[in-house]
Amino acid sequence: MVKHTKRRGFTLIEVVTTIFIIGLLILLVLPNVNNVRKFAEQKQQTALVQTIQTQVDLYLSENPDKVANFGDLQTNQYLSADQVKQAKAAGIDIKDSQVFRAK
């Protein structure tokens, strides 16, 4: 009498199908993740512009005879060094008491 034992495991077709499905899901998910990341970065930069504008307004209300710039805002502790660094990296500038982001 010959015993037939069944092997436990996956067939090649099952493995290829699984890899195909995983690849398809990755192709569908990655573009959405990148869009969400870009959207979050835009929102963060908008919030940074608003924060800096608020700090400029506070600085000018306490020092009406001065012109606001990043150096004065940092020196007088209206902005932290990290905020100034982020603003410069994002292309944010102050001109005539208005904060704007260069495109």
**Domain range for 41:** 37-101
- Give domain status of residue 15, yes or no: no
Q: How many CB atoms lie within 10 A of CB 55?
A: 20
Looking at residue 31, its pLDDT comes to: 86
User: Does some domain include residue 1?
Assistant: no
- On whether residue 80 sits in a domain, the answer given is yes
- Look at residue 61 and tell me if it is in a domain: yes
Q: Would 68 be classed as within a structural domain?
A: yes
Residue 10 falls within a domain, yes or no? no
Sign of the CA dihedral running 84, 88, 94, 95: positive
65 within some domain: yes
Residue 84 lies in a domain: yes
Q: Does the global pTM surpass 0.75?
A: no
| pLDDT tens profile 17-49 | 999 999 999 999 888 888 999 999 999 999 999
Number of compact structural domains in the chain: 1
